[in-house]
Amino acid sequence: MERPAWAPRSIDISVPSVSRMYDYYLGGSHNFEVDREAARRAMGFMPGLPKIAQANRAFMRRAVRYAAGQGITQFLDIGSGIPTFGNVHEVAQAACPGARVVYVDHDPVAVAHSQAVLEGDDDADIVAADLRKPQDILRSIQVERLIDLNRPVALLLVAILHFVEDEDDPYGAVAELGEALAPGSLLVLTHASYEGIPLPPERAGGAVNVYKDNRNPLVMRTREEITRFFEGYDMVEPGLVAMPRWRPDTTPEDDDPYAFSGFAGVGRTA
């Protein structure tokens, strides 16, 4: 298997990665055959996975514009993945010139590609770190350089928490990050769930098993379990809803049925 020039030497290109599978769903080019094969296997059970990925991105862009409209100029995007068109820094800086963005990911391809994309942008940077270790993120030189935690921050956890198993305490990690945020900060979150998927759960479960087989457990949580991440936050209208229903630009009914899989929400710290 030939290693492309953009692939860091340290990575095992024989093992699929969730961020590279996501890149494939979005039509990106930073993925390997092993990622495409796993993604196609998952799509065999759930053909709408690319639509779900697109709905996540569209929600993220609306939420970033909303945050900028609320006067927030600092963005911390954890589990940011491989940059594609319309990233947080592009949306935020278009809405608010000088907005500062720190991306966080533990996939070496996502980190390397982000570094290349962000070269020359003094207001954006990437940290190689893991959501499960909040202090590594909060104490990173990139966060210390760009983010003033005494002022409101938009914390983005888009399509990441469903890759953290309960035994790794995702609720604790989100709470620890939230405690570091100033009043008026926003938590922007999406999460996979069997609710809303236009398929029987056992069929959708086939796609979940593909991730499990790749040592990337995909944890489907209920609406109630996802709501728990917002403890201590005031929900922004319309609350925790299907992604296309969160402050839509167009009529949600026009969206693909798969776009309504899982939940999206924004909470504000008091």
Amino acid 1: pLDDT = 60
Asked if residue 93 lies in contact with residue 68, where contact means CB atoms within 8 angstroms, the answer is: no
Burial letters for 63-102: b for 16+ Cβ neighbours within 10 Å, e otherwise?
bbbbbbeeebbbbbbbbbbbbbeebbbbbbbebbeebbbb
DSSP 109: H
Token output for 60: 């993220």
Residue that the structure tokens 């900060």 belong to: 185
Amino acid 216: pLDDT = 85
Instruction: Report the CATH number that the domain containing residue 124 is assigned in CATH.
Output: 3.40.50.150
Is 242 part of a structural domain of the chain?
yes
Amino acid 13: pLDDT = 79
Q: Quickly list H helices, 122-230.
A: 134-138, 141-146, 170-179, 201-213, 223-227
Number of domains the chain is built from: 1
Is 132 part of a structural domain of the chain?
yes
Q: Which residues of the chain have pLDDT under 70?
A: 1-2
Which residue range is the domain that position 56 belongs to?
Answer: 48-269
Nearest-angstrom CA–CA distance, 204 and 113: 31
Is 227 part of a structural domain of the chain?
yes
Is 243 part of a structural domain of the chain?
yes
Is 21 part of a structural domain of the chain?
no
CA nearest neighbour of 207 among 218, 195, 191:
218
Is 33 part of a structural domain of the chain?
no
Residues 112-149: tens digit of each pLDDT: 889 989 999 999 999 999 999 999 999 999 999 999 99
Angle made by CA atoms 226, 43, 4, in degrees to the nearest 5: 100
* Helix/strand/coil for 155: strand
Is 39 part of a structural domain of the chain?
no
Is 43 part of a structural domain of the chain?
no
The helix or strand, by DSSP H or E, that contains position 45, with its residue range, turns out to be helix 33-45
Amino acid 83: pLDDT = 87
Beta strands in the chain (DSSP E): 74-78, 100-105, 124-128, 154-157, 186-191, 233-235, 263-269
Q: What's the order of all strands across the beta sheet hosting 154-157?
A: 124-128, 100-105, 74-78, 154-157, 186-191, 263-269, 233-235
The phi, psi pair for 30, rounded to 5°, reads -100, 65
Nearest-angstrom CA–CA distance, 68 and 63: 9
